[in-house]
Amino acid sequence: MKKRDFIKIGGLATGALLTGCSASTTDMSAKRTNSAKKSSAGLKLSFRPYELQLRHVFTVAANSRTTTPGILTTIEYDGVTGFGEASMPPYLGESLKSVTEFLSKVNLGQFTDPFLMEDILDYVEGIMPGNHAAKASVDIALHDLTGKLMEQPWFRLWGLNPLKTPNSSFTIGIDTAEVVKQKTLEAKAFKILKVKLGRDNDKEMIETVRSVTDVPLYADVNQGWKDKQKALEMVQWLSGRGVQFVEQPLPKEQVDDIAWLTARSPLPIMADEALQTVQDLLSMKGIYSGINVKLMKCGGMNAAYKMITMARQMGMKILVGCMTETSCAVTAAAQLSPLADWADLDGNLLISNDIYEGMTIVDGKVTLPDRPGIGIVEKKNKI
Ligand code: MG
């Protein structure tokens, strides 16, 4: 083949490819334009309180509780509804009152194109600082809506392989040996357990769990240890008992002690309470080995995706976690889980009044539903 003919054929092929791209872009634009015309009224945000009932009293280093306040959101556009959620565990400082006040200020009616997500989320971010759970409830509903409008789940829109999801842990709270043993036996479906530590019975907690299972463990201290030398001795002890990492061993204010511990620890030291947003992440390098990303801390899926991308660039480990939440927020977080080293997505299993169906745990592994948006549906028999 002469060089000129090759270029000609190559040019035709490239042209066809470009035409194909251009046609699909045009189709998408036409779809969006049509949608925008139909919904000149703009996006409609609604919300209502929903108290999450815990299956068991949940005890961590600092407190115990049986309920968690929550708010469920929806964003409607062109006959399609996106679902979102804010969960407010006490330690983050948001409440039914603060989330209600924040959401009352959000005027999504000014936006007639839901695909302008950066504009919309920048606007929501700028209303008031903080209020991360309230912001997450808007972000999640917007992702659900846009995914549904594009008829694709978010893991696919991000280009993530749903087969690369990690196993999820199930959390064993601090309790008597008898109850811990019982809960561990009930968690047989999980291939990893997260054990809460930070009181005076840490070794007993681990030994009790180990008396009934040999699955790998995560340890979450919830800032419960105070002394760095004792913390190091405990981490060394834990590393000989199949523990994979230790989360927030010391109070987040003890930055120098945490850096000292991380430098000597045989296990990764993960930040949870110490880190909320992408801005916090910048100060984590050299202090922690990795981060626990939760939508309610960082403000939603958009922020979490950016945070994970940046943390990877910084060479850090990633755990995707959750609060006690319905399947709405848990499944939204699960969309990001193919990017994570570990997952702790059991929040929906800790409550007795979940009104959605979404991600499931199959053979211990996070399993994403093949449905558009964040992939949830309302349960047929609502609780
Ligand atoms: Mg934690």
| CA nearest neighbour of 182 among 209, 147, 215 | 209
pLDDT value, residue 91:
77
Number of CB atoms found within 10 A of residue 382's CB: 8
| Distance (Å) from CA 1 to ligand 1 centroid | 65
pLDDT value, residue 39:
54
| Distance (Å) from CA 287 to ligand 1 centroid | 16
Question: Domain extents for the chain?
Answer: 44-151, 156-378
- Structure tokens given for 166: 């990690």
Distance, CA of 213 to CA of 204 (rounded, Å): 14
Q: Domain 156-378 falls in which CATH fold? A: TIM Barrel (3.20.20)
In this structure, the chain runs to a length of 383
Distance, CA of 104 to CA of 96 (rounded, Å): 12
| Distance (Å) from CA 302 to ligand 1 centroid | 21
| Distance (Å) from CA 350 to ligand 1 centroid | 15
Look at strands 290-293 and 269-271 and give their pairing: parallel
pLDDT value, residue 57:
75
pLDDT value, residue 38:
52
Strand extents, DSSP E, the chain: 44-49, 52-59, 64-68, 70-77, 80-87, 169-172, 192-196, 217-220, 243-247, 269-271, 290-293, 317-320, 342-343, 356-357, 360-362, 365-367, 377-378
Task: Report the SS3 class of residue 138.
Answer: helix
CATH number of 44-151: 3.30.390.10
| Distance (Å) from CA 137 to ligand 1 centroid | 21
| CA nearest neighbour of 194 among 221, 163, 217 | 217
pLDDT value, residue 279:
85
Q: What is the DSSP letter of 108?
A: G
Q: Which residues pair with 87 in a beta bridge?
A: 70
| Distance (Å) from CA 158 to ligand 1 centroid | 26
| Distance (Å) from CA 76 to ligand 1 centroid | 33
| Distance (Å) from CA 2 to ligand 1 centroid | 66
| Distance (Å) from CA 141 to ligand 1 centroid | 25
Q: What is the DSSP letter of 129?
A: S
- Structure tokens given for 361: 């745990």
Which amino acid makes up residue 56? H
| Distance (Å) from CA 117 to ligand 1 centroid | 29
| CA nearest neighbour of 131 among 255, 249, 296 | 296
| Distance (Å) from CA 247 to ligand 1 centroid | 6
Distance, CA of 175 to CA of 243 (rounded, Å): 19
Burial of 288 (0-12, 13-18, 19+ CB in 10 A): buried
pTM: 0.87
Q: What is the DSSP letter of 92?
A: G
Print pLDDT tens along the chain (383 aa): 333 333 333 333 333 333 333 334 344 444 444 444 455 689 999 999 999 999 887 766 667 788 999 999 999 999 999 999 999 988 789 999 999 999 999 999 999 999 999 999 999 999 999 999 999 999 999 999 999 999 999 999 999 999 999 999 999 988 899 999 999 999 998 999 999 999 989 999 999 999 999 999 999 999 999 999 999 999 999 999 999 999 999 999 999 999 999 999 999 999 999 998 888 999 999 999 999 999 999 999 999 999 999 999 999 999 999 999 999 999 999 999 999 999 999 999 989 999 999 999 999 999 999 999 999 999 987 65
How far lies 169's CA from each of 160, 198, 201, 208, 378, in Å? 21, 19, 21, 17, 25
